[in-house]
Amino acid sequence: MTCDGNAGAVQVTIRYAFASPLSGFIAALPPSVQAHGCFPKLS
């Protein structure tokens, strides 16, 4: 397994959808945010 080119690592992705009262005023606000990280695989 690889994650961002690192062998022996696993990728964890978190996606969160949210609603903001500012969404109507600021079109650039995304409807969700996403982050990912790579962690060493534990055996």
Domain residues of the chain, as ranges?
Answer: 1-20+31-43
First to last CA, the chain: 13
Which helix (H) or strand (E) covers residue 2, if one does? strand 2-3
Q: Which residues pair with 7 in a beta bridge?
A: 2
- Positive or negative: CA dihedral 14, 15, 21, 25: positive
Position 12 scores a pLDDT of 93
**The residue count for the chain:** 43
Position 36 scores a pLDDT of 93
Q: How does pLDDT run along the chain (43 residues), one tens digit per residue? A: 778 888 888 999 999 998 778 777 777 778 888 999 999 988 7
User: In this structure, what token pair is assigned to residue 37?
Assistant: 């990280």
